[in-house]
Amino acid sequence: MKMEALEVLKNRRAIRKFKAEQVSEEALQAVLEAGTYAPTGAGTQGVQIVAVQSPENVAAVDALNAKVLGKPDAHPYYGAPTIILIFETEACFTHELDGAAVCTNMVNAAYAAGLGSCWIHRCRQMFELEEGKALLRKWGLPETLTGVASIALGYADCEHPQAKPRKEDYVVRV
Ligand SMILES: Cc1cc2nc3c(=O)[nH]c(=O)nc-3n(C[C@H](O)[C@H](O)[C@H](O)COP(=O)(O)O)c2cc1C
């Protein structure tokens, strides 16, 4: 489970096909903990992480994301057995950026822990809808949470994708 940090950052790729097998508790814990150690503006930790694993809740989030996408029959989480939702709380000082930092830590940690992951969009819109707010209520969370990002998480059921070549002018040194 140990991998050099720079190797992880360079080789992690978005995974879009997952095995049905649930992720190990050890790997999930490693991913979630990595999220909590991400940098946050002024150290406010104004982020709420929600790990969704019950098949009923996973299906509800998948369907909600598909609704926002405008393709009700789609599966935007690609059948992943775990979905991680990232919200900003009212304490969030640097809106969205903290949540993005948390999400980045978690997708990289997922790769280091032997899992596949894909950052999935539309989290804000999902939890602006009444269905999203109803889920928050059901989970005992405040409706004031603002969705930032989400992650499809599981064991990859595909070849590891190759990274596109990096654009030549990505970095300017002055
Ligand atoms: C803000 C953001 C939103 C994304 N939303 C989606 C998404 O909704 N669905 C998806 O399949 N991939 C999504 N991705 C994954 C990107 O498509 C992927 O990171 C990109 O194609 C580069 O591939 P790589 O991650 O393998 O380097 C998102 C990535 C980011 C950073």
- 174 residues of the chain, pLDDT tens digit each: 556 999 999 999 999 999 999 999 999 999 999 999 999 999 999 999 999 999 999 999 999 999 999 999 999 999 999 999 999 998 888 989 999 999 999 999 999 999 999 999 999 999 999 999 999 999 999 999 999 999 999 999 999 999 999 999 999 999
Helix or strand run (H / E) with residue 2: none
pLDDT of residue 2: 59
Counting ligand 1 atoms within 8 A of each CB, the residue from 64, 67, 84, 118 with the most, and so the one to mutate, is 118
Could you tell me the distance, in angstroms and rounded to a whole number, from the CA of residue 126 to the centre of ligand 1? 17
Ligand 1 atom showing the smallest separation from residue 65 Cα: 8
Helix axes 130-138, 55-69, angle to 10 degrees: 160
All structural domains of the chain with their residue ranges: 12-154
Provide CB contacts within 8 A for 16, sequence distance 6+.
78, 118, 152, 158
Could you tell me the distance, in angstroms and rounded to a whole number, from the CA of residue 87 to the centre of ligand 1? 18
| CATH class name, domain 12-154 | alpha beta
Enter the pTM of the model: 0.98
| Protein residue closest via CA to atom 23 of ligand 1 | 14
Cα–Cα distance measured from residue 152 to residue 171, given in angstroms and rounded to the nearest whole number:
30
Task: Identify the CA nearest to 18 among candidates 69, 58, 65.
Answer: 58
Say yes or no: CB of residue 42 within 6 Å of ligand 1.
no
The amino acid occupying position 128 is E
Say yes or no: CB of residue 163 within 6 Å of ligand 1.
yes
